[in-house]
Structure 1
Amino acid sequence: MSRELPGHARIVVVGGGVVGSSIAYQLTRAGVSDVVLLERGPLACGTSWHAAGLIMQLRGSHATTEVARYNAQFYPELEADTGMATGFKQNGTLAIGRNMDRVHEMKRRASLARSFNIDAHVISPTEVREMYPALDESVVAGGLFVPGDGQLSPVDTVNALIAGAKKRGARVFTDTAVEQMRRLPSGEYELKAADGVITSETLVLACGLWTGDFAAQLGVRVPLHACEHMYVVTEAMDFVLPTLPVLRDTDGYTYMKEDAGKLLIGSFEPRGKPLPLAKLPEEQRFIEIQEDWEHFILPYRKAMEIIPALEDVGITKFMNGPESFTPDNLPCLGEAPGLRNCFVAAGLNSEGFEISPGISRALARWIIDGEPDMDLLDYDVARFHPFQVNRRYLRERSAESLGNTYEMGWPFKEHETSRPARKSPLHDRLAAAGACFGETAGWERPMWFAAKGVAPENRYSHFRPNWYEYTARECRAAREGVVIMDVSSFGKSLIQGRDACRFLQWMCVSDVDVAVGKLIYTHMLNSNGGIECDITIDRRAPDCFFVYSSAGVHSRDMNWIARHIQPDQHVTITDVTAAYSVLNIQGPRSRDLLQSITDADLSNPAFPFLTAREIDIGYARVRAKRQTFVGELGWELQVPSEFVQDVYDIVLQAGQSFDLKQAGYHALEHLRCERGYREFVLDLAPDDTPFEAGLGFIVGMNKPGGFKGREALLPQAGRVLNRRMVLFKLKDPEPALFHDELIRMDGEIVGYLSSGAYGFTLGSAVGMGYVNHPEGVTTELIDNSEFEIEIACESWPAEASLKPFYDPTGARVKM
């Protein structure tokens, strides 16, 4: 192989592990031959070489399973394409549960599998023992067998990927460490190595756990941190045959696979062992860390509980190698915030071989087309906030992230580490009032309020968690009286400039050239008509607009907006989230309460729905916005943060006369589901259009100048759609809904729930999800069909409607 680097390539991929080699393969397979891959050492060094090579199709949601499931199809295709063995075999995955909560989780996974036509079977302890004779049946409560899963040889797979990429034109340079890189004034990227300099139009950083530090050279934030990942290999054991399925004992923190007649036992223990990069040997390419039996003994003892024969077998190998983990256990993928044509693919949380086929194919399309062709919200590197590259934050969170790999997937499970990071000025007051806090984007947010004498602590459940009774009271107060919610974590951006209105007119589906003081709920779309941003805009002046986003997507929203501002446009975007706090006052008595503390006229004629104005409360000038996400009369009060404590105290003092109650984000979720309000990421995503979502009323198809994505919507405007958001209400009051439950129409699977919650006002669980039907989803179809919602393999009859079950006409918000 020539050691001389070419002077230029269309695309340069940095990293020759499974991620980088997969991307090079998918790019060339898609027809892009001018690809150069640079690897500082031999192929598959770093972390890929010591991977366990497990392949599993199912994940915790439809969106993530859509990416992962491609693996079972891809690896046989790779072998056929290259003629090279990858060691891939579909010996299946046998997941076992030691308790009924885990079995319930498995049943939910089995239901999810059905919507993808993935073969998955929930089996009894006896059937588990028949399939895996060495198991102690008495420890097992149940199992889930997925025969299409399996395992492969990591190094052989990387070599096959590289061979496939090279045969279509890719050039690969090993032992070529990139020493420096920069972005040129032309927009191209220059990379310097000992063997030369190369420029590229597009740069892909797939450097594994080194990606964060490497990307920092370009000012790119990639929040990941290394942890030690350990496994052992036993002596040969009689029952370990080539056909033995991969065993996943998540309650015991271990996985086990056949390895040449021996058993490889790896772990994702409850708290991982963070590993700073500074402790890794700089020149070593195939890194092995000192064995640590003190740390590994807990999962190994759990393994002996499930397979007693391990007590009498020796260990031939203790492997301890670095793996990278992200703050939310999801990969960092996509175009780097603030840069054009610089892409990141890293932080795969020890699942590189499982999800590399899906993410590399998706990223290749993103690079070629300029936008993703599927929902990658969960993976988008732009989702992270600037503070999340803080070293201490990452070190503490990475230990939990490793453990969360096998942690129970409880609904509303909260992170415990790296907290508190960001706090509202009202945090201490809320804590004194009994708030139980959750965390989103670093913000400590009140989720529910405990009664006096009750500890504000979460006890999770797949059915009815301990906070339900308190959340039910909060919901009742919102529907019948008045509540106050601290929603200060909402993202707030200020868009200004002489071209601000023209810019937003093009970016938004709604007409934003409205009177000052008018609120606009709107979307920003991609070229396929899919929803990229779900925002509310408050026009403050002819050239000034306030944009409100959900806390979890605020950073991504700002990135999406900023990257569409053209060089010749006089438009700026500024994050002002910390400058303002927000109090959400909702309920039929909200007007009476607020009117008692301000001299502003809050009557319906003077202050209509979806308008905003400045009012005085205490010594503060408050931006009052008459809007709601709960379906009641209400206002959001945007208060300069230095004034909010005083305003909060005034509201609480006056609220005593109106039986004001504190309410948290759980109540907000239950209330918005009752009213059928859609939430971005859950119900709205880049592969959903406003018309499919039932939000066509916000789309100005005929507004002058059009908008981004309009052409893609033309075939849907005014037409019967084959895919449409439908709302559901269970007929039985007992079950709970959360998300991803299957929708059955006349016995057939036609979709899944994007959101679900218990409707305390309605007396049963409610949810929403997209229904698919080849002849169109119409009111007539819904009225003449029988619907069921499948929860953990059990179906429950449900009512279905295109309108909300609570206040279907929306009269209450306009009282």
Structure 2
Amino acid sequence: MSTHQFPTHAKIVIVGGGIAGCSVAYHLAKLGQTDVVLLEQGKLTSGTTWHAAGLVGQMRPNRNMTSMSKYGIELYSSLEAETGLATGWKQCGSVNVARTPERMKVLRKQIALARSFGVEVHEITPQEVGERAPLLRTDDLVGGIWIPGDGKANPADLCMSLAKGARQRGVKIFEDIEVTGVDLDEGRVKGVKTKQGDIQCDILVNCAGQWARQFGQLAGVNVPLYSAEHYYIVTDKIEGIHPMWPVVRDPDGYIYYKEEVGGLVMGGFEPVAKPWNVHPIPSSFQFQLLDEDWDQFEILMVNAIQRTPCLETAKVKMLLNGPESFTPDGNFILGEAPEVRNYFVCAGFNSAGIANSGGAGRLMAEWIVGGEPSVDLWDVDVRRFGAFTGNRKALSERTAETLGLHYAMRWPRQELQTVRPLRCSPLYDVLAAKGAEFGSKNGWERVNYFKPAGSPAARDTLDRPDWLPWVQAEQKATREAVALYDQSSFSKLWVQGPDALSFLQHMCANDIDVVIGKMVYTALLNDRGGFESDLTVIRLAEERFMVVTGSGQTTRDLDWLQRHLTPDMRVYINDVTAQYCVLSLMGPRAAELMSRVCPDNLSPQHLAFAQTKDIDVGHAKVRAARMSYVGGPGYELYVPVEMTRHVYLALQAAGADLGLRDAGYYALDALRIERQRRAWGAEMGPDETPFEAGLWAGVKLDKQAGFKGKKALLECKAKGPVLLDKKLVKILVKDPNQYLWGGEPLNVNGRFVGEITSAGWGYEAGAMVALGYIRGEWARQPIQHLQAQAELWGVPIDVVIDEAI
């Protein structure tokens, strides 16, 4: 217990004294925030931190997450000198091994990405694996990688050192304080309730670990995570194991190892996990473990004996079973909750909290102090989840899957299988009967492609996919005839009220003051000039607008708009996604097809590009827009849900002799890449400006009304392209037999120059096309027919880079 008197007020209250909470407290204090109180319901580390394995690695799937992990290692290596408390940090390096050629290909891609992010990593042979980590069986391995900067730490000691560093800068830490309630005032945090007294505060940070979901419910905040039983064994001393024995990961066996007191800790992520179906988790669950379950652990033990035969005779001191929380997509949860202002979340680390909490704590502190994240954190942003993800049955079933995916072979475009189907278009059954193969986005079932009747299922592969010919046929129909896409998962928001126009003019970079019926593509920018979103605004009336945005951005974009409303604004925003479907009719024969089902005049003179109007289709009333995301002619039809099936069948009946074909998102994505249509989350995000993305279609710098981000854009424009750090380019693969998936690094003469953001088969090019960013000096010069190479599973393939149009 702290020696401080229990406070009645603090600027910031952190709930949870595990490593995440202590890291947030430490980094807030480093930023000068000293009026901070941390409350722990038990003792520091008593939740899941104390029994964590303590592996600390750097490799992450993107630049910002890798930077976060690299910072964590820098922090852990220097913390003891700062605080005087040992952390157990040892830079012993790590070895990841591959049992199959496919896994080795994935490791080679990770090598290329890691090097492009500034991480030292080396490919090693099976013999070198054995030299780095004696006692491993290596005769069945294809190869491995060596990451010398990785290491391990003692989780409890590390947490205590962070806590001391926070205290030294003025943070007050109180143990044995259970927070029993959260006070709100008009949707904002006002304070917390405890048995020892209430504390008024301006900001609350939920770092409650596996309790974060049930604690969030006290304030109506959705934190979708769920606990699973998680296991490792601890052996007695084993000859040949020493303190600098590297961390070893054998993902094909689902297992990892680290040295501990001359023995081994061996744990893993079994393919089908065992959820801990306890609700609520009692606050008294402190420094406790669950019962051993050797049956559940068997698959890990069998694989471990194969990899380290010494375990057959080693003495096992214990099988530790400690619950850990996991999220629906395997990524952790950071950010300000959309439901409550000044309520932040830092939780859901999926058994990787020790490795990630150092960097996550810094990012959270920057977010809290700065009001917005300093870098793009969309992959871990709490706003990627809708309220429906808090369902406990769904979380339990999904956790059984996502825990196992930590080490499972992840194939390109692999879809999660549990908790599906959940959110469905009215056409789901109709399309399924026609061979639709669905993916899932924000819970919505969306058609990826249509499999011809009698065709075998497409196999998982790292190479050219089996479904490509089917997607090419859908592309052909789109470019040469007409194709129908069900895009009902589009997010749709109504923004209305006397101040709706002035509000949107401030939020949108384009001019929204247009005639009724006009559709405006616009960027939403942050104060750095980066894309918070790109979306379409349809003016339905003088004071009513429909905002149409990406399927996965409903919560994020709704929150972004609502958080910029002031109490005096007469603006009302509603999510109407489930009330309207969107059927996109694309291709040169789309107009002919529409003329057969619609008596209205839809000629360009009566319905120009980006114009909308209410029309008749069959027996239904719909809003039609002349618009095509893939380029070329087309329409988007906004149809009331209850009429969607009728409209779809009317279109199908009328288009049978025109070559009408159902099509899915794989074709849509490839076609938009070929026409250089950017996508938010790929080519656009909070870190990319219109200058870097080469995208001014959604920005009007000279509009009379000021808008958020305009100042930053004007400053960038004044500096000119000479200061660009990155630039979007288009890419063509020379060999039509090569298949890219996206995410590949780009090299010129062996030197890293950038990375691919999106890739797809180019129907017009007859080869793979892609979009990507080039960085540094390459971004500051004209690019035309630059000969380069993309690292495809570690193998360079020839590409040509040109400036995107």
Find the residue that maps to 1:378 and give its secondary structure.
Answer: helix
2:763 matched residue in structure 1: 760
> CA offsets per residue over residues 550-590 of structure 1, 9 Å max, x none?
11111111111111111111111111111111111111111
Q: 1:280 to 1:14 in 2, by over 3 A?
A: closer
Mapping of 1:302-341 within 5 angstroms?
A: 302-341=303-342
Whether the 8 Å contact between 2:178 and 2:194 is mirrored in structure 1 is yes
* CA distance in structure 1 between the aligned counterparts of 2:709 and 2:21, rounded to whole angstroms: 32
Distance apart, 1:90 and its partner CA: 1.1
Q: 1:337 to 1:281 in 2, by over 3 A?
A: closer
Distance apart, 1:188 and its partner CA: 4.6
* CA distance in structure 2 between the aligned counterparts of 1:393 and 1:118, rounded to whole angstroms: 37
Q: Which moved more, 1:3-12 or 1:98-107?
A: 3-12
* CA distance in structure 1 between the aligned counterparts of 2:521 and 2:746, rounded to whole angstroms: 29
Q: 1:517 to 1:184 in 2, by over 3 A?
A: closer
> CA offsets per residue over residues 440-465 of structure 1, 9 Å max, x none?
1111111110111125x442222222
Find the residue that maps to 1:666 and give its secondary structure.
Answer: helix
Mapping of 1:458-607 within 5 angstroms?
A: 458-607=458-607
The size of the alignment, in residue pairs, is: 801
Mapping of 1:697-716 within 5 angstroms?
A: 697-716=697-716
**AA matched with 1:240:** I
Distance apart, 1:97 and its partner CA: 1.1
2:682 matched residue in structure 1: 682
Q: Which moved more, 1:58-67 or 1:277-286?
A: 277-286
* CA distance in structure 2 between the aligned counterparts of 1:422 and 1:15, rounded to whole angstroms: 34
Whether the 8 Å contact between 2:521 and 2:697 is mirrored in structure 1 is no
Find the residue that maps to 1:513 and give its secondary structure.
Answer: coil
**AA matched with 1:244:** W
Whether the 8 Å contact between 2:729 and 2:801 is mirrored in structure 1 is yes
* CA distance in structure 2 between the aligned counterparts of 1:690 and 1:154, rounded to whole angstroms: 43
Distance apart, 1:91 and its partner CA: 0.8
* CA distance in structure 2 between the aligned counterparts of 1:601 and 1:305, rounded to whole angstroms: 72
Find the residue that maps to 1:202 and give its secondary structure.
Answer: strand
* CA distance in structure 2 between the aligned counterparts of 1:732 and 1:82, rounded to whole angstroms: 57
1:427 matched residue in structure 2: 428
Distance apart, 1:140 and its partner CA: 1.0
Whether the 8 Å contact between 2:214 and 2:280 is mirrored in structure 1 is no
Mapping of 1:224-263 within 5 angstroms?
A: 224-263=225-264
Distance apart, 1:775 and its partner CA: 7.6
Whether the 8 Å contact between 1:184 and 1:190 is mirrored in structure 2 is no
Distance apart, 1:287 and its partner CA: 1.9
Whether the 8 Å contact between 1:182 and 1:217 is mirrored in structure 2 is no
* CA distance in structure 2 between the aligned counterparts of 1:615 and 1:378, rounded to whole angstroms: 40
2:656 matched residue in structure 1: 656
Mapping of 1:139-154 within 5 angstroms?
A: 139-154=140-155
> CA offsets per residue over residues 610-651 of structure 1, 9 Å max, x none?
111111111111111111121221111111110111111111
**AA matched with 2:730:** L
Q: Which moved more, 1:91-100 or 1:125-134?
A: 125-134
Whether the 8 Å contact between 1:475 and 1:761 is mirrored in structure 2 is no
- Residue 750 in 1 paired to residue 753 in 2? yes
> CA offsets per residue over residues 124-170 of structure 1, 9 Å max, x none?
22221222232222321111111111110000000100010000111
1:24 matched residue in structure 2: 25
> CA offsets per residue over residues 481-522 of structure 1, 9 Å max, x none?
111111111111111111111000000000000111111111
- Residue 66 in 1 paired to residue 89 in 2? no
2:95 matched residue in structure 1: 94
1:694 matched residue in structure 2: 694
Q: 1:369 to 1:279 in 2, by over 3 A?
A: closer
Distance apart, 1:314 and its partner CA: 2.5
Identity %: 41
Find the residue that maps to 2:182 and give its secondary structure.
Answer: strand
Q: 1:747 to 1:125 in 2, by over 3 A?
A: closer
Distance apart, 1:217 and its partner CA: 1.1
* CA distance in structure 1 between the aligned counterparts of 2:189 and 2:759, rounded to whole angstroms: 46
2:267 matched residue in structure 1: 266
1:810 matched residue in structure 2: none
TM norm structure 2 = 0.97
* CA distance in structure 2 between the aligned counterparts of 1:777 and 1:138, rounded to whole angstroms: 49
Distance apart, 1:278 and its partner CA: 2.9
> CA offsets per residue over residues 520-549 of structure 1, 9 Å max, x none?
111111111111111111111111111111
The runs of 5 or more residues in structure 2 that have no matched partner are none
Whether the 8 Å contact between 2:191 and 2:202 is mirrored in structure 1 is no
1:813 matched residue in structure 2: none
**AA matched with 1:648:** Y
Distance apart, 1:411 and its partner CA: 1.4
Distance apart, 1:422 and its partner CA: 0.8
TM norm structure 1 = 0.96
* CA distance in structure 2 between the aligned counterparts of 1:777 and 1:271, rounded to whole angstroms: 49
* CA distance in structure 2 between the aligned counterparts of 1:625 and 1:80, rounded to whole angstroms: 63
2:359 matched residue in structure 1: 358
* CA distance in structure 2 between the aligned counterparts of 1:280 and 1:609, rounded to whole angstroms: 56
**AA matched with 2:673:** C
Q: 1:347 to 1:747 in 2, by over 3 A?
A: same
Find the residue that maps to 1:264 and give its secondary structure.
Answer: strand
**AA matched with 1:395:** S
Find the residue that maps to 1:214 and give its secondary structure.
Answer: helix
**AA matched with 1:732:** D
**AA matched with 2:168:** K
**AA matched with 1:733:** P
Q: Which moved more, 1:170-179 or 1:20-29?
A: 170-179
**AA matched with 2:684:** L
1:737 matched residue in structure 2: 740
Find the residue that maps to 2:322 and give its secondary structure.
Answer: strand
2:643 matched residue in structure 1: 643
Find the residue that maps to 2:642 and give its secondary structure.
Answer: coil
* CA distance in structure 2 between the aligned counterparts of 1:409 and 1:650, rounded to whole angstroms: 40
Q: Which moved more, 1:461-470 or 1:222-231?
A: 461-470
Distance apart, 1:333 and its partner CA: 0.8
Q: 1:86 to 1:396 in 2, by over 3 A?
A: same
> CA offsets per residue over residues 631-673 of structure 1, 9 Å max, x none?
2211111111101111111111111111111111111111111
**AA matched with 2:298:** I
2:801 matched residue in structure 1: 800
Distance apart, 1:4 and its partner CA: 3.3
Distance apart, 1:279 and its partner CA: 7.4
Mapping of 1:46-61 within 5 angstroms?
A: 46-61=47-62
Whether the 8 Å contact between 2:338 and 2:555 is mirrored in structure 1 is no
**AA matched with 1:586:** M
> CA offsets per residue over residues 74-94 of structure 1, 9 Å max, x none?
211222221221111111111
Q: Which moved more, 1:784-793 or 1:221-230?
A: 784-793
Whether the 8 Å contact between 1:507 and 1:524 is mirrored in structure 2 is yes
The runs of 5 or more residues in structure 1 that have no matched partner are 805-815
- Residue 367 in 1 paired to residue 333 in 2? no
Find the residue that maps to 1:696 and give its secondary structure.
Answer: coil
Distance apart, 1:238 and its partner CA: 1.0
1:807 matched residue in structure 2: none
Whether the 8 Å contact between 1:226 and 1:274 is mirrored in structure 2 is yes
Find the residue that maps to 1:277 and give its secondary structure.
Answer: coil
* CA distance in structure 2 between the aligned counterparts of 1:777 and 1:584, rounded to whole angstroms: 38
Whether the 8 Å contact between 1:62 and 1:740 is mirrored in structure 2 is no
**AA matched with 2:212:** T
Whether the 8 Å contact between 2:181 and 2:219 is mirrored in structure 1 is no
Mapping of 1:37-52 within 5 angstroms?
A: 37-52=38-53
Q: 1:281 to 1:608 in 2, by over 3 A?
A: closer
Find the residue that maps to 1:273 and give its secondary structure.
Answer: coil
> CA offsets per residue over residues 737-783 of structure 1, 9 Å max, x none?
2222112245422221121222233122221122223485343xx12
Whether the 8 Å contact between 1:476 and 1:761 is mirrored in structure 2 is no
